[in-house]
Chains A and B, each alone.
Chain A
């Protein structure tokens, strides 16, 4: 059986970044996201929108990677937000209290406007 996959598309505008996730974020695929997030932080971004329109699954590993970058951005006065969560992904993030820590927008456009 094929491994889970995560595809990450990024758009960088000055210090603002938007990434679009396609696939599944589990313990296997999260290191790829973490590498991308570390790269964005090292480029000096101060705000990040993570669009989840095509994210079909998230486990605590994925939430952990996002949590680490949330802390890094907050420490330098920046912010992070999420957009377009499916109801299942939203439910998982609610269960783990992550949605209490970040703004969640219904659409990527709305998220970008508030970045």
Chain B
């Protein structure tokens, strides 16, 4: 069985809560269906929370840094597609912002903490999932995937 849910997101940080709630509801819906790591419980709360965090950070990063000016941010088109297949969940985030591969960003945590910086560690959240990036038709396409039974 394959399920797919798509969400459109504007360039407003106020959307983040709705995004997190949609991802949580989607992950909750994987319980008791298909194959889960624990047949009764699905993903545990930490694994769920890491997926929600990764998507929240990726979308927040697009809204905060993906557009050159307020006018282009107003025209932001961001989408989140969530797919569930028997052995995995996959999330695809597309945006029409500046070309940026978040997987190439290597945070310097030592510098971040020594200098008391406010930005720079969010994309670490992506490392808890299998991921892939491509630039396609002037869009950034980020895929985040979690296969059951493959904790990272």
Q: Which residues of A contact B (CB under 8 A)?
A: 1-4, 24, 26-28, 34, 57, 59-61, 63-65, 67-72, 87-88, 91-92, 95-98, 101
Q: A1-B21, A71-B115, A88-B46 are in contact. Are A26 and B121 (CB under 8 A)?
A: no
Contact B116 A91 (CB under 8 A): no
**Which of the residues B18, B46, B53, B116 comes within 8 Å of A1, measured between beta carbons?**
B18
A2–B16 alpha-carbon span in the complex (Å)? 10
Q: Which residue of A lies closest to B109 (CB)?
A: A97
A97 to B122 Cα, complex, angstroms: 11
Closest-CB distance, B15 to chain A (whole angstroms): 8
Main secondary structure of the interface of B (DSSP, over half): helix
Tell me whether A67 and B112 are in contact (CB under 8 A): yes
A96 touches B124 (CB 8 A): yes
Q: Is B53 touching A64 in the complex (CB atoms < 8 A)?
A: no
Report the separation of the CA atoms of residues A87 and B46 in the bound assembly, to the nearest whole angstrom.
8
Q: A63–B53 Cα gap in the complex (Å)?
A: 13
A71-B124 CB under 8 A given contacts A4-B16, A27-B63? no
**Which residues of A have CB within 8 Å of B45?**
87-88
A60 to B18, CA, bound (A): 18
Q: Which of B93-147 contact A (CB under 8 A)?
A: 109, 112-113, 115-122, 124-125, 128
Most chain B beta-carbon neighbours within 10 Å: one of A69, A92, A101: A92
Please provide the 3 A-B residue pairs with the shortest distance between their CB atoms, ordered closest to farther: A71-B116, A60-B122, A64-B118
By a beta-carbon cutoff of 8 Å, the part of chain B in contact with chain A is 13-14, 16-18, 20-21, 45-46, 49-50, 53, 56-57, 60, 63-64, 109, 112-113, 115-122, 124-125, 128
In the complex the two chains form, what is the Cα distance from A92 to B63 in whole Å?
21
- Classify the secondary structure of A's interface with B: helix
**What are 22 sample pairs from A and B whose C-beta atoms fall under 8 A apart?**
A1-B17, A4-B17, A26-B56, A27-B60, A28-B14, A28-B17, A34-B118, A59-B16, A59-B60, A59-B122, A60-B119, A60-B125, A61-B60, A67-B112, A68-B118, A69-B116, A71-B115, A91-B46, A91-B50, A96-B109, A96-B124, A101-B113
On whether the beta carbons of A67 and B116 are closer than 8 Å, the reply is yes
Contacts of B117 in A (CB 8 A): 64, 67-68
Q: A26-B60, A28-B14 are in contact. Are A60 and B121 (CB under 8 A)?
A: yes
Distance between Cα atoms of A26 and B109 in the complex (Å): 20
A3 and B121 in contact (CB under 8 A), knowing A59-B53, A67-B116, A72-B116?
A: no
